[in-house]
Amino acid sequence: MGETNSCFNRTQSSISLFDLKPPGAFPACIDQSFAYETTRELEFAVAIVKELSAAFPISGVLLTGSFARGEGIIRRSRNERGSQWLSDLECLVVIPDSARTHLRMISDALAERTRIANEEDQQKSRGQHIELSPILTARLRTMKPSIFAYELIEHGKLLWRSGGHEVPMPPRFELSRTVLGRDALRLLNNRIMEQVAASTHCSEQQDPAETAYLQSKFWVEMGTSISVFLECYQSSYKARYEALENVVADANLLPLPFGNATLSTILRAMRARVAPDGCRATGPSGDTDCAAALALKIWWWETANILNTSPLVGDWSEIGARLRRTDTTDSRLRDWGRVLLRKGIGGNFTIASIASVLQAGSLGSAIYTAGCLLFFYREAISQNSVVGAEIYQRLRSFLGINPPAGAVAHRCFSEVTALAWQKHLRSTAL
């Protein structure tokens, strides 16, 4: 695919250190009129960690995500008197291996401090959300190939380093759909779960811009996931958009099972995402059922690429087994290990549902299976159609709750599944 494929040949066996780039030393957001505000908030995040370093050993602070790539989204608020942050400020707090026994205490302290900061009136009014996630030096040094790892290597910014401590860079790796395919599917699954979680707290008071941004993010990350399987993945949204645009123009790659029109819709969302004015126009909007129908086709196509099987959409009852087959033995063992360390399934599921978890292969796959069913078949479940009634019975048994059939059931199932997903993400972060 020409130049768009060049990044798939990059490898590097050695591990180097991140260069120190304090707040203000690099562009963090698309709209540079918010550069001072962004720098101030980055300094605030670093100050939280510095304060905590008086009690615990901490090696440094790494900025990740959209602000590290210079693609953070900040826009004028609706009254034009302030700012509205649509991107989260995400950082890794690097902990030396010698402090491994303190990791849980450090994690709890960071969570409490960021909770207080995020609940301040000024932060909440601007939609600001700081994430400070601890990571051991050993885990950073040996980070397995993933989309997150690659973007961290390419764009991660070391905001602060404590004297004498090491902040290593993860090892570089060759990019291919064989290496990143499962991670790309996991990204799609997490965005699906995000949509399920969002459906549980929709209200008339919700900011339309935030809702539109979340919808746009879903389409944009579908583009990221697809780009891995089309072998045109790039480490920034802008480069990714340009690479996918070339794919759409290449008639030799068509037809795809989800159609060229779907790629064009994704490109509109990505174009809006990288526009100079941020997310004033956030791309495709509105029809959740349409998005779910297209995502279903993409999901089956991606799993087919991993499993080397038919890309055509099959029966809903096959989703759990398909997810189990895409998982690796190592991943399942790690997942069950975390469950055992938490002394059980943690209250998210009943004992009766353990058989369903075993059938899915792991707790993570079981949660993603429930999320996929709730997202792909929302209308069927809400309307209690024949298929919806069958899915209702499966989810009722699996989640251990017995809500009235129909829209109430979908909402109740979504709330329990979203909570399980959030707990699962927290457990995998440590």
Q: Are residues 92 and 147 in the same domain?
A: yes
Single residue among 263, 281, 305 that ends a domain in this structure: 305
Angstrom CA distances, 105 to 52, 110, 111, 332, stand at 11, 9, 10, 27
Range of the domain at 200: 175-305
pTM value? 0.86
The total of other beta-carbon atoms located within 10 Å of residue 356's CB is 20
Residues 6+ positions from 393 with CB-CB distance below 8 Å? none
Q: How many domains does the chain have?
A: 2
46 in the same domain as 149: yes
Domain for residue 180, yes or no?
yes
- 202-208: long-range contacts at Cβ-Cβ below 8 A with a sequence spacing of 24 or more? 207/78, 207/84, 207/127
Where do the DSSP E strands lie in 52-211?
Answer: 60-64, 74-76, 83-85, 89-95, 130-136, 157-161
Assess whether 108 and 136 both reside in one domain.
yes
Judge whether 31 lies within some domain.
Answer: yes
More confident position, 359 or 90? 90
Residue 216 included in any domain: yes
The answer to whether residue 107 sits within a structural domain is yes
52-56, 99-103, 176-180, 271-275: range with lowest mean pLDDT: 271-275
Predicted confidence (pLDDT) per residue in 341-394, tens digit = 654 444 445 544 666 666 667 888 889 999 999 999 999 999 999 999 999 999
Q: Are 252 and 219 part of one and the same domain?
A: yes
Q: How confident is the model at residue 140, as a pLDDT? A: 95
CATH number for the domain spanning 21: value is 3.30.460.10
Question: What is the CB neighbour count within 10 angstroms for residue 56?
Answer: 18
What 3-state DSSP class applies to 81? coil
Q: Are residues 68 and 181 in the same domain?
A: no
| Among 130, 161, 192, residue at a domain's last position | 161
- Confirm whether 334 is domain-assigned: no
In a domain, 238, yes or no: yes
Residue that is last in its domain, among 246, 274, 305: 305
Instruction: Determine contact, residues 278/237, Cβ cutoff 8 Å.
Output: no
Burial grade of 233 (CB within 10 A; 0-12, 13-18, 19 or more): buried
148 and 193 housed in the same domain = no
Same domain, 134 and 268: no
CA distance 381 to 410: 6
Q: What is the residue-wise DSSP string for 191-253?
A: HHHHHHHHTTS--TTS-HHHHHHHHHHHHHHHHHHHHHHTT---SSHHHHHHHHHHHHH-GGG
Cis preceding-peptide flag for 170 (omega within 30 of 0): no
Q: What is the pLDDT at residue 282?
A: 46
Q: What is the rounded CA–CA span in Å between residue 67 and residue 72?
A: 4
Residue 170 is assigned to a structural domain of this protein: no
Compute CA distances 42 → 23, 123, 166, 268, whole Å.
Answer: 6, 13, 21, 30
Residues 214, 244, single domain; the answer is yes
Question: What pLDDT, in 10s, does the model give residues 15-51?
Answer: 689 999 999 999 999 999 999 999 999 999 999 999 9
Confidence category of residue 13, pLDDT binned at 50, 70, 90: very low
